[in-house]
Structure 1
Amino acid sequence: MSDMTKTPKGGIARHLPLIAAVAVAVIGAATLKDYLSFDTLRDNREALLAFRDQNYLGLAAIFACIYILIVVFSLPGAAMASVTGGFLFGLAMGTGLNVVSATIGATGIFLAARWGLGEMLTARLESAEGRIQMLKNALRQNEVEVLLLLRLVPAVPFFVANLLPALVGVRFGNFLWTTAVGIIPGAIVFTWIGVGVGEVFDRGEDPDLSLLWEPHVIGPILGLCVLAVMPIIVKTLRPKATGPKTSAPQEPSPTSPDPKKES
């Protein structure tokens, strides 16, 4: 009886981090949407800059913690947080804080999903057959390339790129470094927007994130996507290009009897 009572508790406890993340995400989506905006940044601009000048490292630590919580709980405003990083800390420091914070937050939601549903789904994938088995093998063979694509393609939501790898059982090490590397281009763009936000406020204009879709910005990012997908294409086409190997015709052994002479 003791084993029977412990098992359900262990099962529920394993899912608690993911359940908490989902619950906070739902609450945050309903309550924080209006607060994480350019208007909030404009209204608190002077206070933030004054606090930064008095306590630079303290504000950097607070900013990083808030950014990590936004990513862990998939709250709205990750892009706005990246812009704020550029506004407060400049391009170099802002990009560094954005990348490190986003990577830590992504790791947190990845582990929460891996310990919960991810472990169960991974076990089912391992025992699956047919098309699911083929899909799993294809993902394992191109794991790094697929993970980089998830980070580089702007159309893929950040929380999807955090949860999906955990649910299909990718290697944690590959998830970690591809996240840190793959988000750098987007982080630079959003941080760069933040660097110029102050000037936009001074002109009395309203900034927006449409700059991301400008050809001179989205072009290089799409180029990186092509570079990431090229190894997958090469691996797919290589067996078809080479074809099956054909063995050369064997010459008769000098010791073997000649059929014509025997006849």
Structure 2
Amino acid sequence: MTGSHPAAGTPTGESGLALTRRARRVNRVLAQTYPYAVAELDFSNAFELLVATVLSAQTTDVRVNATTPGLFARFPDAEAMAHADERELQEIVRPLGFYRNKAAAIQGLSRALVEHHGGEVPGTVDALVALPGVGRKTAFVVLGNAFGVPGLTVDTHFGRLARRLGFTAHQDPVKVEHEVAALFAPRDWTMLSHRLVFHGRRICHAKRPACGACPVARWCPSYGAGETDPEAAARLLKYELAPGREDLLARMLAGASRAELRAEGYSLGA
């Protein structure tokens, strides 16, 4: 990925510079709205995050977080998981669905870690995607959150929002990754991933986005794809905003500038 301006011919017909400026404005507002945005999988080291991310396919982070404490208490590292009893491993991950495949995946990657990396999780994209069951999305989750290496995590929510916001028109995750990366400085990639996922889960839903409760509605070319009435949109929110931020959201929706918000006493960061 690179951090240069995108080429001419943007999805919305804007110039590359205009798109970059709008995209970065959206990111700043989402940063204000979700100051607590982090990876929603619980982990204490790179191995736990890698396994949890693989297990999160086709299930919820909440369910994974309920399962992994018992899993890691029994098999705390790659060495232990590589030599785990297959049936025992299956039973532990059974609540997550597709438990046979998931048990095989985490045991397979554990064996690869032991055989090729001394049991440690490698810190490069190429080494991570060479592990069984690990793709670019999983690799960037691990790199960004366990190693501090910038990367975009293009999951379902990220791809949907990137297209709705006019950052890209691509469906292919790798093309989405590269096109969106060009709009932002590398230092912003990991947090942008968290913010778009948070926004997609809470407000910009797949089937019925809550446009009337969206803090970036004024910069979104897809505004109107969902419910625009503020009260009706508010009822669509699936999660509460951070405590004490509801008034800030209301002021942003009303069009208040950053200078006005700061004058009113809001702390907006840099």
TM-score by length of 1: 0.24
Larger Rg: 1
Whose helix fraction is larger, Structure 1's or Structure 2's? 1
